Structure formats: structure tokens, C-alpha cells
Amino acid sequence: MVTGPLFAVEDLHVTFAMRARSVEVLKGVSFDVEAGETVCIVGESGSGKSMTALAVLGLVPSPGAITGGRICLEGRELSGMPRKALRGVRGAKISMVFQEPMSSLNPVLTVGSQVAEVLRQHEGLTSKQAGARVVDLFRAVGIPAAEERAAAYPHQMSGGMRQRVMIAMAIACRPKLLIADEPTTALDVTVQKQILQLLKEIQKQSRMAILLITHDMGIVSEIGDRVIVMYAGRPVETGAVSDVLGNPRHPYTSALIACAPRVAAQDARRSRLPEIPGMVPPLERLPRGCAFEPRCPRSVPACRDAPPPYFGSAARRVACWLEERR
């Protein structure tokens, strides 16, 4: 019997080694995901959230590499696994849905054959068996006229339909963990809603864990159980979604929540959409202290001297010097 979490990342470091210098894009990312749970990673562009997803699958693009830490699925360590074994995990036990449904499907093969290929590879099905399963999967993800659609090419489908195909492909081998990297960012708002509902539905049936990467706090509140807020390659606040959104303790989290546009707010009609001043600093020129300090409205002198350690319990961790006084 496997004890411990379904999926765990411990102190993950990813470094890009360029000719003259090296840049650490992930500096000590730790989190775990339980079966049937949805964990969201939020942060701005450049915070390292997509890199975390790629690192989990061992797909960090060159010249980057995992330089430290452990990634474990059901107690088995993935980092350092032989390439062939890792290929057996990718797409089967851990699968991924990408941001761009328009470009994530091979344009010269029918969508059905692309999903069938995953089944044939990981489950050793014949093309006939795989074809039948593809139709079932297409029905399960709400693709109408599944049989005809399986013979369609990607350019013949809308973005929402293609994302459904991507999801069908991702759940084809009943993965333990689904990583969704901004799965709805490229879609219309109404289609976004449908896709999120679909993911929830699938999760309810299969107790699959979902690691959802997004920059949208609205999506987090809608679908997430727990949330990890990342900034400059490091989680700055983690906890249950209701706690973190209802009572943010890191100034960056508060700022992100304030930035989310609210349609219902009465006084929002004429007011300017709030924003976080400044930009994520370039990773090779991070300040000596807290990475968020230059943009932080509540910074204190201590913030400039050393990066903050984690405060709080495993259920609710915050990396901010303000926590020291609580």
C-alpha cells in the first residue's frame, strides 16, 4: 500500500545554463496533489508556473535542466527515471492539456487517429479497438457526432472542440494526474465554462488529480481545492482556495486578487482596473531579499536583506517577512 500523497514535488530546482551565466527559473518548488483533488498554480507570466508543469513531465527545454529536488508519483521517483520508462508515464499516468488547442494537434492527421495513437502506444490496443475507444472518449467529452468527428482534421474543428479532443487524448489512458496548462485561456468565455465543467465532471467520475495552471483567479475559485501562488520561480503562498482567496496573507496574493476584474462590483463602473505596478523582475537580476519587494506596497526594511523563509503550517504556507510578527 502506497502511503503519502499521490503526487509530490519536493524542492524542485530548474536552471537554464547559458554560455556565460546560468539562470535558476525554479528555486525550490514543493507541493503535493492528492487523488481527486484540484490544485491550481497561479502567477504572472514568468513566474515559473508553466516551467513547473514541463519539469514534472521531464520536458524542460534545452538548455534548461532539473538541477535539484524530487518528483514522485505514487511513491515512485520520476526524476532520474530512464527515458523509456518516463515515456510510459507521460500520456498514461500523467497527461497534459496545453494552452493552445489551435496548434496542439497535428494538422495532417485526423483527430481520431491522434487519440488512437496514444491508446495503441500505452495500452497496446489494435487500431480497431482503439478506434472504438476513441468514439467512446469523444462522446464522454461532449463531442457531437463522435464517429464522424473522429475522421475530421484539426482545421475542421473549432477551438472548443479541439480542446475537447485534447482532453479526450489526455484522459484516454485514465491518468492519475492531469496537468492543464491554461486550458481555457485561448477560448471564449462561454466555452471556458464548459471546458472547466467537463474537467470537473471527469474528475468526479475517475478521482483523477488535476494540476491546473492559470493566471485567472476566477478559475481558481471556480474549480480549485488548493492553490499555489508563484512569484519569480518560487511559491509565495499556498493553502486551501477559500482561505487564500478569502484571507490572502502575502501582499502579492492580495494584489493578484485585486486585479481580477469583477463584473458585479457596483463601484467598478468608472474606476480603473487595478494593476500591480512594475513587472516580474528578470530572473538573472533578482533582488537580494524578497523578489516581490520592489513592487510590494507593504515592504519593510527586513524584506531587502534576505529572501523570506516559509511561515505557517504545511496546510497554509506563506513566504513573507510580515508573517514573522504574527
For other proteins, the binding residues (CB under 8 A) are: 57, 59, 87-92, 95-96, 98, 100, 103-110, 117-118, 121-122, 139-144, 148, 152-153, 155-158, 160-161, 164, 166, 169-170, 190-191, 194, 197-198, 201
> Which CB sits closer to other proteins, 155 or 262?
155
Return d(Cα 282, Cα 103) in angstroms, integer: 28
Minimum gap (Å) between residue 180 Cβ and other proteins: 12
Minimum gap (Å) between residue 138 Cβ and other proteins: 10
> Which CB sits closer to other proteins, 105 or 296?
105
In 10 A of CB 151, how many CB atoms? 12
Minimum gap (Å) between residue 43 Cβ and other proteins: 21
> Which CB sits closer to other proteins, 141 or 245?
141
134: its cell numbers: 476513441
182: left (phi over 0), alpha (psi -120 to 50) or beta: left
Minimum gap (Å) between residue 324 Cβ and other proteins: 41
> Which CB sits closer to other proteins, 176 or 317?
176
Minimum gap (Å) between residue 276 Cβ and other proteins: 29
Q: At what angle do helices 127-140 and 159-171 cross, to 10 degrees?
A: 120
19's CB contacts (< 8 A; 6+ apart) are: none
> Which CB sits closer to other proteins, 189 or 264?
189
Contact 70, 64 (CB under 8 A): no
CA distances, 72 to each of 9, 25, 97, 276 (Å): 6, 20, 20, 35
